[in-house]
């Protein structure tokens, strides 16, 4: 099945620990995104990437890091600098052409909680 796979579904972080969320897509999309979802705040963009080995900060990049070594993969690391990491994290992908860059395909998310 074509789509986006996020893992793990649930993740717990201890204070001072870095954790990495996985995102893999087999849609052959060039662009990938990470969003953070908090109750009542909608979806906020953390990072996005348009091409391998390149990525751009979104609106709330502080305390997060990403890499794009392969077209299919876009992992997100939540660092210890992120003081309020508890949230639902969503990975998405899209094309880059006219119209194809407008439709985002989302994974099923990772719920991150702090122990």
Partner 1 sequence: QQQVKQSPQSLIVQKGGISIINCAYENTAFDYFPWYQQFPGKGPALLIAIRPDVSEKKEGRFTISFNKSAKQFSLHIMDSQPGDSATYFCAASWRGTGTASKLTFGTGTRLQVTL
Q: Catalog residues that contact partner 1 under the rule CB under 8 A.
A: 4, 6, 31, 33, 40-44, 48-50, 56, 90, 92, 94, 96-98, 101-104, 106-109
C-beta of 33 vs 78, nearer to partner 1: 33
Residue 56, both tokens:
């751009």
Task: Give least dist CB 104 to partner 1, A.
Answer: 6
C-beta of 41 vs 84, nearer to partner 1: 41
List the beta strands (DSSP E) in 1-78. Answer: 4-7, 10-13, 19-25, 31-38, 42-51, 54-57, 64-66, 76-78
Alpha-carbon gap, residue 91 to 2, rounded angstroms: 15
Task: Give least dist CB 49 to partner 1, A.
Answer: 8
Task: Give least dist CB 20 to partner 1, A.
Answer: 19
The two beta strands, 54-57 and 110-114, are unpaired
Alpha-carbon gap, residue 98 to 73, rounded angstroms: 23
Task: Give least dist CB 16 to partner 1, A.
Answer: 28
C-beta of 33 vs 85, nearer to partner 1: 33
């Amino acid at each position: 099945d074509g789509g986006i796979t996020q893992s793990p579904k649930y993740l717990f972080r201890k204070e001072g620990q870095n954790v990495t969320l996985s995102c893999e897509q087999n849609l052959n999309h060039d662009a990938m995104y990470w969003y953070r979802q908090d109750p009542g705040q909608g979806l906020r963009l953390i990072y996005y990437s348009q091409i391998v080995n390149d990525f751009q900060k979104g609106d709330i990049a502080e305390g997060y890091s990403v890499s794009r070594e392969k077209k299919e993969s876009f992992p997100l690391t939540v660092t210890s600098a992120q003081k309020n990491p508890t949230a639902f994290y969503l990975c998405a992908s899209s094309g880059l052409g006219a119209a194809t860059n407008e439709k985002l395909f989302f994974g099923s998310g990772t719920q991150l909680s702090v122990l």
